[in-house]
């Protein structure tokens, strides 16, 4: 799996310009990162044909911390390649196992989105998706954090809807506070009530079937082993890989 030149050109302006002929082009660096993301290997295990692994690692690390891959993701949204102007979106989360290599970030980097659950150390990826190919916005939290509070934070980051949009959510988000926030922001919540609700409400069961689109999107990006398992100590690096996975999925 490799990005072609014509695919890269759609996001090329988001990457720093190389001032002189470099031994490793930006496209070559992205394809090396794609190999690492797809196979889940260590950087030093990169095949030699990709070039010096340390040069590639340093450049990806720099891009991650400067938000370059996030900029490329937003560029694809602006171009309409990632379609976000829709009438229905889905909100959900997925758990990602943290590899021992992803533990032990230095304290100077602050708390990272890693938490202990009954299944071990996990990171949660929360996402609003417009389809099974189009992510709108996402965030990370520790694996032991509740979906409701993190979902509300994500909706606040997403901001008000500029037209009526149905928001499909599972029962983890059926709390009064989450539904009230959705309505306040201009969304129409479609969420089934829990069985112990004293005053349950009706919801559109046919429309609710589309909620599996966000689950299918999780499945698509989790085919990359670097997303299926978290190997990165820092959130900013892991987030960059999630951005990159969404970019690759829509371009290819």
Q: In the prediction, which pLDDT does 138 show?
A: 94
Task: Give backbone dihedrals phi and psi of 41, rounded to 5 degrees, phi first.
Answer: -85, 165
Tell me which CATH code domain 84-232 carries: 3.30.420
Choose among 180, 178, 110: nearest CA to 142. 110
Task: Give backbone dihedrals phi and psi of 188, rounded to 5 degrees, phi first.
Answer: -110, 100
Stronger pLDDT, 119 or 15, i.e. the higher one: 15
Q: Share the mean pLDDT of the chain.
A: 92
Residues 93, 150 contacting (CB under 8 angstroms)? yes
**In the predicted model, what is the mean pLDDT of residues 54-82?**
93
The structural domains of the chain, with segments of one domain joined by +, span 5-78, 84-232
Residues 123, 113 contacting (CB under 8 angstroms)? yes
Q: What is the distance of C-alpha 214 from the center of its chain?
A: 11
pLDDT tens digit sequence for 129-173: 999 899 999 999 998 998 999 999 999 999 998 889 999 999 999
| Predicted model pTM | 0.91
Q: How confident is the model at residue 23 (pLDDT cuts 50, 70, 90)?
A: confident
């Amino acid at each position: 799996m490799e990005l072609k030149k014509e695919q890269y050109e759609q996001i090329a302006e988001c990457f720093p310009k190389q001032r002189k002929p470099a031994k490793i082009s930006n496209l070559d660096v992205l394809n090396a990162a794609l190999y690492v993301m797809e196979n889940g290997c260590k950087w030093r295990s990169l095949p030699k044909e990709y070039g010096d692994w340390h040069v590639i690692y340093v450049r990806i690390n720099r891009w991650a911390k400067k938000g370059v891959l996030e900029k490329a993701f937003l560029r694809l949204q602006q171009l309409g390649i990632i379609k976000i102007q829709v009438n229905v979106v889905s909100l959900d989360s997925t758990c990602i196992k943290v590899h021992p290599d992803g533990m032990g970030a230095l304290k100077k980097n602050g708390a990272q989105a890693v938490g202990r659950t009954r299944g071990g150390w996990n990171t949660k990826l929360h996402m609003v998706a417009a389809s099974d190919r189009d992510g709108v916005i996402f965030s990370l939290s520790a694996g032991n954090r509740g979906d409701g509070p993190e979902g509300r934070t994500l909706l606040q980051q997403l901001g008000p809807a500029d037209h009526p949009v149905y928001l499909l959510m599972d029962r983890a988000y059926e709390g009064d506070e989450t539904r009230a926030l959705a309505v306040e922001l201009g969304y129409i919540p479609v969420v089934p009530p829990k069985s112990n609700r004293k005053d349950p409400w009706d919801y559109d069961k046919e429309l609710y079937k589309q909620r599996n689109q966000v689950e299918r999107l999780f499945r698509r990006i989790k085919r990359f082993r670097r997303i299926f398992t978290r190997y990165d100590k820092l959130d900013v690096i892991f987030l960059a890989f999630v951005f990159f996975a969404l970019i690759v999925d829509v371009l290819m």
